Structure 1
Amino acid sequence: MSIVLVAIFIVLLVMGLPIAVCLGLSASIVIVTQGLPVSVVAQRSLNSLDSSPLLAVPLFIFAAALLNATGVTTHLFELVRMMFGRIRGAVAQVSIFVSLIFSGISGAALADIGALGAIQINQMKAQGYKEEFAAGLTVAAATIGPIFPPSIPIIIYASVANVSAVKLLIAGIIPALLLTAMLMIQVGILAKVKGLPRDDVRVEPRAVARKFVISLPALLAPALLIGGLISGLFGPTEVAGVTVAYALFIGIFIYRSLTVRGILGALRETVEATANILYVVATAALFAWVLTLDQVPMKVSGLLLGLSDNPLVLLLLVNVLLLVVGMVLESIAAILIIAPIIAPALTAAGVDPLQLGIVFVLNLMIGLLTPPVGMSLYMITIITKMPINRVIAGVMPFFIPLLLSLFVVSAIPGLSTWLPEILTK
């Protein structure tokens, strides 16, 4: 049954149908041909959406859209430029650091690219950077967003793998900082080797102080979210609701730039993005249920545990698998299909569930940069109007810090487990 399911899925995928249609249609065909009740299709699809953590998804999307409509991203970028000054490669370093700050608001790689991409690339081009470099760095830096809390992929993984969403979100903080540092080191090396341009920003104490005051409400947003999670005051869903309220407050009463038209635009963007995500969630859950019915998770667990009982070896094997999967499957669909199959086996082998969750998500975020289904690549081509081959050429050097970070997080469990253990006692 599983072989037929996968075969139909691959055929539909090769035909060019949307990933959600491929998942749902292949599962539905197998259910009907196996003589199972057709009502199972609706029941399993709807049950997958009956999850309170998933309520955070549209709320985080809405909050990011509101802050983008407010113009927060421009203020943040200008402030960080002043902080870095006129060092060589400064604007590239600024792009990475701003991605870290904005990731504490948006929770998604594509949201980061949509909000920051045009600003980052235009600033780098204006300073004399090659367009390929600017595009490559922008998509590479966007991988920070889904690792640092709040993270939509992490929330979805937690709901599928039965892991504490709060602990898993906190577990992403140190790996995200590591990823940021690795990217900044790479840019620092390239700045010396290739002689990247210096920023022409004028750094005056009064101007820096003024820009800091203007940017302070936006800078407080990540602190508010992470503080609420760590204190236990908010769960992931409550944090998302507070973020929306905070975005509305600063947009209307502090920045006074959020209009009714801007709110309606953010709502429209949220509905479209949420519909796409939840459609994938529902169909992927149906697909995963058919695999479970054929005992695929148990078979895969036996296979993996038969190969090795060393947690690090198993993690490295899963890394290779997920990097390949990330090339052909959309990240949320991959989480929903593969996490229920892989997680039990690796947990049984001694891999910490928090470490596994971060490794899993980081793998798939790197997959956003790899063809043929690299959503970040396609989004940046829309923004820059560049051919995808030039974007791929620009992103290639940044696979070094991304893959190095992935290996370090896989090899050192404490990077993912230490902070949750300390903060959630």
Structure 2
Amino acid sequence: MEMTAIILIVCFFILLFINVPISICIALSTLIALTLHMDFTPASITISQQMMGGLDSFALLAIPFFILSGLIMGQGGIAKRLIECAMAMIGFLPGGLALVNVMSCMMFGAISGSAVAATSAIGSFMVPEMKKHGYSENFAAAVTASAATTGMLIPPSNILIIYAIASGGVSIAALFIAGYLPGILLGLALMMVCAIYSIKNNYPVTARLPFSVMFEKIIAALPSLLLVFIVIGGIIGGVFTATEAGAVAVIYALVLAVFVYKEIRLNEMPQLLLKACETTAIVMLIIAASSAMSWLLSYTHIPQMVSEFFLTLSDNPIIILLLINLILILVGAFIDMTPAVLIFTPIFLPVAMQFGMSPVQFGIMIVLNLSIGLVSPPVGSVLFVSCAVAKTAIHKIIKPMMPLYLVMFLVLMLVTYVPAISEFLPRLFGLLD
């Protein structure tokens, strides 16, 4: 069994370092490792069956819907109105534009469920605006990248749906509700760093808008923000499932973008649908390959071996949970979030539960942890998008990223060791025993 794990890890990282796509890395390394236990033909058939079985889940139908709704919102003028709303509310505070950047990413991420979409949609407006008012482009890029990760926690979030499947059936509604407090806490922590950094560097403060203008901007953004209440309220109230909520989100976003804001023409929809199909295909291939690897890990009893190994290291939950977090931070720097959740949830969830952590709390912890990987080199996809938007290089934004990394890690520690941050709201709504 140890040899299977070694072959699996070595093959995976060799393929990864020669720039083989992540889904192919996972599938090929799984196939090679499985040939230690059976001939090539039955091994390839088994892997194919497991890949197809990994996609046989009704909950996964929510993902293409939320991807499409996110694309519609990104092009439908919603980002612009959310930015104007945030500007009206907090733009006059110290470091106002940086705070607006964070708040806009939080709101857009909560609506679209995509960190990359939030980085692109919000960053393409806020980064030039921050540069125009004297902010460093490197600081602007760092703020956009880190703030965009809040959308992974604030629902609706595709990665929370994927975790629900990987964990063996944790309530999606409970996970969605559980993400609110950690996501808001992360956003507030980032805002605090932005304010201190802005004051230290003497960045300008924008003028307070008249109350009538402020009220107008907030009212203009309300139809966009209403989507969150419709989706989450419908799921909690039992009106529809998470999958049906995705379909509702598409219809609402389409009506808003085409008929209310009039930013999208109907003849542009085929292009958006094609892009949604491409993104969905990539995500589903990763899920299929990761499901096959998860099956191999279970087949070879590797999760049990890992659990026994951790128990031999210490019986102190503080040490074990810290060790799990450090491993996941390292993993997140090299592996994209979706395969990491699918592969490492079956490995670490049993260990965490043995030390008293609920599956809901662990889900929020692993998503927040791997969100740090989205903004960490060498693989961090959000970091690359933010640098492209700001027209700067990754090595130039690492310095302004350091205090943001620090507060993200501190929030991660709070989520890890204070269960109430993740569990209070699900318990309040009767979604957690």
TM-score, normalised with respect to structure 1: 0.96
Equivalents in 2 of 1:145, 1:164: separation in Å? 19
Aligned to 1:350, the other structure's residue is in SS state: coil
Contact 1:95 1:138 in 2 (8 A): yes
| Residue identity opposite 1:15 in structure 2 | I
Question: Deviation digits for residues 250-301 of structure 1, max 9, x if unmatched?
Answer: 1222112221243223212211211111111111111222222211011011
Give the Å deviation of 1:66: 0.5
* Partners of 1:252 and 1:170 in 2: CA distance: 30
Residue 370 of structure 1 corresponds to 376
- The answer to whether the 8 A contact 1:84-1:94 is kept is yes
Question: 1:229: how far off?
Answer: 2.6
1:193 aligns with 200
- 2:339 counterpart of 1:336: no
Deviation at 1:352, TM superposition (A): 1.4
Runs of 4+ in structure 1 deviating by more than 4 angstroms, as ranges, are none
How far residue 33 of structure 1 moved from its aligned partner, in angstroms, is 5.0
Residue aligned with 2:404, SS? helix
CA RMSD in angstroms comes to 1.6
Written as runs of structure 1 = structure 2, the 5 A alignment for 1:83-232 is: 83-162=89-168, 163-200=170-207, 203-232=209-238
Task: Please name the residue that 2:19 is paired with.
Answer: 16
Which letter maps to 1:183? L
Q: Secondary structure at the match of 1:145?
A: helix
2:279 to 260, 273, 296: 273
Of the three residues 361, 380, 383, the one matched with 2:389 is 383
Q: List aligned pairs for 1:71-86, cutoff 5 A.
A: 71-86=77-92
Amino acid aligned to 1:421: R
Tell me the residue number matched to 1:4.
7
Distance (whole Å) between structure 1 residues aligned to residue 313 and residue 90 of structure 2: 49
1-structure distance, mates of 2:93, 2:122: 21
| 1:144-201 deviation per Cα after TM superposition (whole angstroms, max 9, x unaligned) | 000111111111011100211111111111111111111111112223222221125x
Deviations 1:90-147 (A, max 9, x none): 1111111111211221112112112211112111111110000000000010110001
Residues 342-365 of structure 1, C-alpha deviations (whole Å, 9 max, x = no match): 111211231111111111110000
Given that residues 312 and 410 in structure 1 are in contact (C-alpha distance below 8 angstroms), is that contact kept between their aligned partners in structure 2?
no
Q: In structure 2, which of residues 306, 311, 333 is the aligned counterpart of residue 305 of structure 1?
A: 311
Amino acid at match of 1:191: S
- Quote the residue 2:74 is aligned against: 68
- Report if aligned partners of 2:91, 2:100 keep a CA contact under 8 Å in 1: no
Task: Report Cα offsets for 1:57-109 as digits up to 9, x if no partner.
Answer: 11111001111111111111112212224232111111111112112211121
Residue 328 of structure 1: SS of its match in structure 2? coil
The match for 2:32 is 29
1:408 is matched with which residue? 414
Alignment check: 8 A CA contact 1:311 1:351 kept: no
Q: Aligned AA for 1:11?
A: I
**What TM-score results when the alignment is normalised by the length of structure 2?**
0.94
d(CA) in 1 for partners of 2:17 and 2:278? 25
- Using the TM superposition, give the Cα deviation of residue 397 of structure 1 relative to its aligned residue in structure 2, in angstroms: 2.3
Whether the 8 Å CA contact 2:91–2:97 is kept in 1: the answer is no
CA contact (8 A) 1:59 1:244 kept: yes
User: Any idea what the Cα deviations from partners look like across 1:201-244, whole Å, max 9, x if unmatched?
Assistant: x6123322332332221121112222223323232212111111
- SS in structure 1 of the partner of residue 152 of structure 2: coil
**Secondary structure of 2:333's partner?**
helix
Identity %: 35
Which residue identity is paired with 1:171? A
Counterpart residue number, 1:52: 58
Q: Is 1:366–1:402's contact at 8 Å kept on the other side of the alignment? A: yes
Write the distance in 2 (CA, Å) between the matches of 1:74 and 1:169.
25
CA change 1:71–1:292 in 2 (3 A) is same
Which sits farther off after the overlay, 24-33 or 360-369? 24-33
Q: Please identify, of 34-43 and 179-188, the stretch whose mean Cα deviation from structure 2 is larger.
A: 34-43
**Kindly tell me: are residues 39 and 85 of structure 1, through their superposed partners in 2, closer, same or farther at Cα, counting changes over 3 Å?**
closer
More off after superposition, 286-295 vs 18-27: 286-295
Structure 2 unaligned residues grouped into runs of 5+: none
Give per-residue Cα distances to partners, 1:35-54, cap 9 Å, x unaligned: 25131121100110111111
The gaps in structure 1 that reach 5 residues or longer are none
Residues 305 and 349 in structure 1, CA contact (< 8 A), matched pair in contact too: no
